[in-house]
A and B are shown apart, each in its own frame.
Chain A
Amino acid sequence: MTKSPTITFPDMTRRGLGALPWIAAAGVLAYAFFVGGYLTTVMSFALIYVVFVTGLNVFMGYAGQVSFGHNAFAALSGYTSAYLTTSHGFAPLPAFGAGLALALSCALIVGYPTLRLKGHYLAMATLAIGLIVYEVAVEWTSVTQGYMGISGIPPIGIAGYEITSERGQLAFLTVIVALATLVSWRIRESRFGRALSAVAGSEDAARALGISASRYKLSAFLASAAFAALAGSLFVHVVGFVSPEVYGLHMVVLAFTMLYVGGIGTIAGPFVGAVIISLLPEMFRQFKDYQDLAYGAALILLLIYAPRGLSTISSLFRRAAAKKAVVS
């Protein structure tokens, strides 16, 4: 008789705790929206990174693979957007279409041969492609204008209406992030997503059940490259400027940090991780000289107390509760 309340109560708290990281990150977003100013800019960058990291999460978190070169796909699409809108009068959407096509073609060329092999060939190939694209962005000055970069890129516009205000951009990015997260969630809860998890868990077992590991790895790679391309193009339109440094190796390092701090393989991870990691340097600005040290210490603490990421914080409570239950 007392069975049902004892089961539903922890169940509800668990669900509530599960929503906690979402609520916290969404709260910061709402706050930024209302106060405006600098925080709005910080949050806009964070949201662009959410898109990028969501893609990386599909490939690394769901399918269990490694890529060090997704910045290349962001760069290819971002530069295509910048070039076509400034030099050829393209509207942002068709320019992004061209950028996406270029990024996906490149991903196919890199991924097709390397993902058929066992081992870390893809990781190495992606590292190379990231560096090559960077060099091209520096050297091909007639198109990219080298280190100077391309400026005067028009803001995002839909059907002739340009979104120029910072709040407007933040709202637009919020919609994009909501859609990206929805896609990520639907992938996770599908036959496709299960096949990716299977490949991540055991390639041999997946193949024994009829799942072509190389085909699913390639699909996940292309899907994640598409997210990276979208993030790359969003960036140039939001900032209005692009240079090689924007898509440097630091982009990969930052995205990895966001993914692991947020929780790799989880749906909320990219959102939570990108928001937290974007805010941390701002919070530690007051430490001045010790800013980097404090930032590093905060990261270490996060990884010690939430090794599987902040979005799994509810399972942490669950474990603590389970321990208590065993003791009592």
Chain B
Amino acid sequence: MSLLELQNVTQRFGGLVAVDDVSATIAQGGVTAVIGPNGAGKTTLFNAISGFRTPSAGRVVFGGVDITGMAPERIAAIGLVRTFQLVQLFGELTAMENVKVGCHLHTRGDLLAAILRSPATRRSERQVEDDARKLLDFVGLTDVADVAASSLPYGQQRLLEIARALAAQPKLLLLDEPAAGLNSGETARLSATIREIAARGTTVLLIEHDMKLVMSTADRVIVLDFGRKIAEGTPDEVRDNPAVIAAYLGMPEGAA
């Protein structure tokens, strides 16, 4: 069954067509990678899917619901959660608190509940604490749970952003270059983490430059170039595709 369907999605910025008539179907389960040279329109496509920018044309359908132009928070509420190419953590909050914020969607209670702090609210807070701790453990950040997010090294910040997104219990997780800035050890670990996320039932769509990560992690690959989809298939199929090789000519990260 298809989880996400892109129908002729187009995004124009003045004269520039950043995403050009892209159609694709992401099935439920597994890991799909979106690759392409710098400026190919990958992040712009993510913005169109996650509601941060309404596409100029085309439709985005998620789980059978037309989400084109819907507000990001409503899209998140129906199970599509993204991370950002430039890490967007709540810097003043601790790692733990960041993940707790991620639990927002599956907990209840606003101002009044905060003031009254009933036994039910306390129970829910304890549950959130437990869930957050498990997620920090999952990405290996237990030791820095009480450290302010802004003082974490970059690699850990990226992992924290993933843990926080997972706390929202998404059906589809969009990761924008999760390996950017990671060393090779961290990247290998990240690959295993992403596979584990998929194994636990969350479908993953990721943008990635690191071809080694793509090859070892993705089940399917979509290739963008100048906003157009130029290829789609398994990592092996895509690697041998002449159009892809041509697009990546002179691109060192594509040579791998």
Contacts and interface: CB of A to CB of B under 8 A. Distances in A.
Interface of A: 183, 186-187, 189-195, 197-198, 200-202, 204-213, 219, 223, 265
Contacts of B115: 183, 186-187
Contacts of A219: 110-111
B4 to A, nearest CB: 16
A210 B97 contact: no
Interface stretch (B22-30, B80-88, B205-213): B80-88
5 contacts: A190-B114, A192-B114, A208-B81, A208-B83, A210-B81
A186 to B, nearest CB: 5
Contacts of B102: 209
Contacts of B121: 190
A209 B101 contact: yes
A201 B98 CA distance: 10
A97 B4 CA distance: 51
A205 B104 contact: no
Contacts of A194: 93, 97, 100-101, 104
A192 B76 contact: no
A205 B84 contact: yes
Contacts of B188: none
Interface of B: 50, 52, 71-73, 76-77, 81-84, 88-93, 97, 100-105, 107-111, 113-115, 117, 121, 124-125, 128, 164-165, 167-168
A197 B93 contact: yes
Contacts of B117: 186, 190
Given A187-B114, A205-B88, A210 B105 contact: yes
Given A205-B90, A209-B105, A191 B110 contact: yes
A236 to B, nearest CB: 25
Contacts of B128: 191
A209 B104 contact: yes
A97 B103 CA distance: 36
B109 A207 contact: no
B114 A211 contact: no
A13 to B, nearest CB: 18
Contacts of A209: 76, 81, 101-102, 104-105, 164-165, 167-168
B104 A208 contact: no
A207 B107 contact: no
Given A198-B104, A208-B83, 14 more contacts: A183-B115, A191-B110, A191-B113, A191-B128, A194-B101, A194-B104, A197-B92, A201-B89, A202-B89, A205-B88, A208-B50, A208-B52, A209-B168, A210-B81
A210 B88 contact: no
A192 B115 CA distance: 10
Contact of A198 (B101, B109, B111, B114): B101
Contacts of B101: 194-195, 197-198, 206, 209, 211
Contacts of A189: 114
Contacts of A191: 103-104, 107-110, 113-114, 124-125, 128
A19 to B, nearest CB: 19
A308 to B, nearest CB: 10
Nearest to A190: B114
A219 B109 CA distance: 13
Nearest to B97: A194
Contacts of B124: 191
A206 B76 CA distance: 10
